[in-house]
Amino acid sequence: MDTITVSLGKRSYPIHIGSGLLADSNTLKQSTSAAELLIVSNETVAPLYLARVEAAFAGRRLKSLILRDGEEYKNLESFTRIIDELIEATYHRDACIVALGGGVVGDLAGYAAASYQRGIDFLQLPTTLLAQVDSSVGGKTAVNHAKAKNMIGAFHQPIAVLADTDALATLPPRELAAGLAEVIKYGLIQDLEFFIWLEEHLPALLQQDPAALLYAIRRCCEIKADIVAEDEREQGRRALLNLGHTFGHAIEALGGYRKWLHGEAIAIGMQMAAEASEQLGWIDPTDAKRVRSLLERAGLPTSATKLSAGEILHRMPLDKKADSQGLRLVLLKHLGHAVVVPAPDTPVLESAIARGLAAG
């Protein structure tokens, strides 16, 4: 088991990464001392892992809530179901919510934990690659609005993250690929050597080679832990983690949170960010092609079919990085070095989106 610490003073917490963590009752028990636990999972994950997690916490006051699976259910209705469960069970302020699932479950459980009695503990047990490398770490919790992604939420750090790499064996290929989009993002924003490593080791990741997966997850978590420790509430450097997300969140919303998985929409968005960076003269055409090639080799889409540049541009201002000065984007100065900048002029942006759409 590898352990990385997110250093936030008294709120610091460990990220444990390794094989068999969901079957390790001692590690699970030690992750929280709460006497009252609510496990939140979904209809896909619960049949696979819920029983073993419940067994690990036997002897404590324990309830489980199973939600429907899918990004379209990351909404206020599901959030209310969790709050209702806590209230009906008269759980107290020293209770803990256990998030067993992917990013949707983690975001919902975390937002409920942030809100219930003004904040209770929550524990992250991420079961997808995307959640293990990104959404389970850093304390961003949220639900979606019909018109905009993650617009309702709070910063609320977990008490620990236990990323069991064995859980990835049950992922459908499409879900694995969606997670690889976030893995690729980390190489693009900060670590060119990691991006090159991904170009060379992508076949091993797709074949779920244990050593390759462990290294990729650990490297992503190292980068994110370092960024979050410096900028917990996204006032500066943490915004770099949103490469492709302003485009991607607009695409997700336009698809009703059903057409594209989050990682798929982010892959399309990263390609559009690469196109915009190329148009600004920051990266070469060969670099933009390298981005597209790696995404496509990972089995990810790089174009949002049946959408127009105008539709995407119209939705993009509904983004958390927009402020009173206007929309900001994360773009690439070069591979391995991202920057946050005011959005380029509309013709440049529209052309970059159109090129991204056409190239698919």
The pLDDT tens digits for 166-212 are 999 999 999 999 999 999 999 999 999 999 999 999 999 999 999 99
The yes-or-no answer on residue 156 being catalytic is no
Which of the four pLDDT bands, split at 50, 70 and 90, describes residue 346? confident
The yes-or-no answer on residue 238 being catalytic is yes
Q: Is a pLDDT exceeding 90 seen at residue 2?
A: yes
From the list 36, 182, 252, 275, the catalytic residue is 182
Cα–Cα distance for residue pair 180/202, rounded to 1 Å? 9
The yes-or-no answer on residue 242 being catalytic is yes
pLDDT, residue 356, reads 78
Region 225-232 average pLDDT: 97
Q: Is a pLDDT exceeding 80 seen at residue 319?
A: no
Q: Which CATH architecture has domain 173-359?
A: Up-down Bundle (1.20)
Which of the four pLDDT bands, split at 50, 70 and 90, describes residue 321? low
The yes-or-no answer on residue 249 being catalytic is yes
Distance set, CA 292 to CA 136, 208, 304 (Å): 26, 22, 14
Which of the four pLDDT bands, split at 50, 70 and 90, describes residue 34? very high
The pLDDT tens digits for 261-313 are 999 999 999 999 999 999 999 999 999 999 999 999 999 999 887 899 999 99
Query: What is the rounded average pLDDT for all residues in the chain?
Result: 95
Q: Is a pLDDT exceeding 60 seen at residue 58?
A: yes
Query: Domain spans of the chain?
Result: 2-170, 173-359
Which of the four pLDDT bands, split at 50, 70 and 90, describes residue 359? low
Q: Is a pLDDT exceeding 70 seen at residue 220?
A: yes
From the list 149, 218, 219, 238, the catalytic residue is 238
CA-based R_g, the chain, Å: 20
Q: Is a pLDDT exceeding 80 seen at residue 115?
A: yes
From the list 36, 42, 74, 140, the catalytic residue is 140
pLDDT, residue 40, reads 98
Q: Is a pLDDT exceeding 80 seen at residue 114?
A: yes
Six token digits for residue 159: 């008490």
Phi first, then psi: give them for residue 57, nearest 5 degrees: -100, 20
From the list 219, 262, 290, 292, the catalytic residue is 262
Q: Is a pLDDT exceeding 60 seen at residue 360?
A: no
**Which distant-in-sequence residues (6+ apart) come within 8 Å of 5 by Cβ?**
12, 13, 14, 15, 225
Which of the four pLDDT bands, split at 50, 70 and 90, describes residue 322? low
Q: What pTM, to 2 d.p., does this model score? A: 0.95
Question: Helix, strand, coil % (nearest 5) of the chain?
Answer: 55, 20, 25
Domains 2-170 and 173-359 share a fold: no
From the list 249, 290, 292, 355, the catalytic residue is 249
The yes-or-no answer on residue 88 being catalytic is no
% of residues, the chain, pLDDT over 70: 98
The yes-or-no answer on residue 297 being catalytic is no
Which of the four pLDDT bands, split at 50, 70 and 90, describes residue 223? very high
Identify the weakest region by mean pLDDT among 108-117, 121-130, 143-152. Answer: 143-152
Look at the domain 2-170 and name its fold.
Rossmann fold (3.40.50)
pLDDT, residue 357, reads 83
Phi first, then psi: give them for residue 93, nearest 5 degrees: -70, -20
| Centroid of chain to Cα 111 | 14
